[in-house]
Structure 1
Amino acid sequence: MAQHLTDQDIENIVEILDYWSPNEKLTWDNLCNAIEQQLELIPAPTRQTLQKYAKIKNAFDLGKKSPAARLIMSRAKEKVPASLKIAQARIDALESKIQRLEKENSMLLEQFVVWQYNAYKYGISIEKLNEPLANKNT
């Protein structure tokens, strides 16, 4: 049976991808193993389950593109102090995270434009769109 992931699980998996070591090959199997070890999700979600979540898939795809550049940079700086290597790894991870968040933001803006067009097309007023959510108690 396929495992259902919570929003927090998805955020944690994306964070694992953001901080993926450039020295370790990023594969779905390696990611599943990391999830099982770090998040203690047993059994670990399968590749098929992970790919169903756009946030995870996008973070994985970005991670597959960027590690080569990070690995070249880390090899070029092998003679630097450990503290600088740690700082560089953190910078690389944060840059990767920024890139992922910018892509997610762009996707959300595209979705908003679609909703905006459909609202106009079907005559939904701005007042209707801005109505507050109903309380559960009422």
Structure 2
Amino acid sequence: MAKHLKQTDIGAIVDIIRGWPTDKISWEAICEASAKVIGNTPTRQTLNAHAAIKDAYTAKKTGLKVHGPRTAMPSSLVVAAQRIARLQTENDELKMRNDKLLEQFVKWQYNAYKHGLKEHQLNAELPRIDRERTEDAN
């Protein structure tokens, strides 16, 4: 029987998906791998109900289709250490950028509320650009 997942369980499952070792990934395989970490086997529907898990799965599946599995071994430990350091720096930069974007979003959210904008107005589609239309310069 499926249980509700805690935030720690969701984080652990996302980590499992991000570190998926093979070139084939499926919900069933993730459910089996998750059972070892969280103590019981969640259902596909339980996993799919959480946006973080669903996004990680979609990103991994797309990445595997585009890039294939990433199992290239570095030529030495020095090269591996340099790569890890570079990736950690990049990860830190992306986290800072994400924090700034979240802060900007909160400001926009407050200002939209303050000026009476409704959610459907903020989510309105962008106008379509008709590039074949010409206007008279008269």
Q: So what's the TM-score if we normalise by structure 1?
A: 0.56
Quickly say closer, same or farther: Cα 1:53–1:117, change in 2 above 3 A. Answer: same
Q: 1:120 aligns with which of 115, 122, 130?
A: 115
**Count of residues in Structure 1 that have an aligned counterpart in Structure 2:** 110
Counterpart residue identity of residue 31, structure 1:
I
**Higher RCO by CA contacts (8 Å cutoff, separation 6 or greater):** 1
Q: What is the Cα-based RMSD across aligned positions, in Å?
A: 4.0
Within 5 Å, give how 1:42-121 maps onto structure 2. 42=40, 44-68=41-65, 69-71=67-69, 74=71, 108=102, 112=106, 113-121=108-116
SS at match of 1:121: coil
Quickly say closer, same or farther: Cα 1:28–1:82, change in 2 above 3 A. Answer: farther
Uncovered stretches (5+) of structure 1, i.e. residues with no partner: 123-138
Uncovered stretches (5+) of structure 2, i.e. residues with no partner: 118-138
Identity %: 25
Is this contact kept in 1: 2:31–2:43, CA < 8 A?
yes
Give deviations 1:37-77, integer Å, cap 9, x for gaps. 2x1421x1111111111111111100001124142x64xx5
Q: Which has the higher helix share?
A: 1
Quickly say closer, same or farther: Cα 1:101–1:40, change in 2 above 3 A. Answer: same
Question: How many angstroms apart in 1 are the aligned matches of 2:95 and 2:26?
Answer: 21
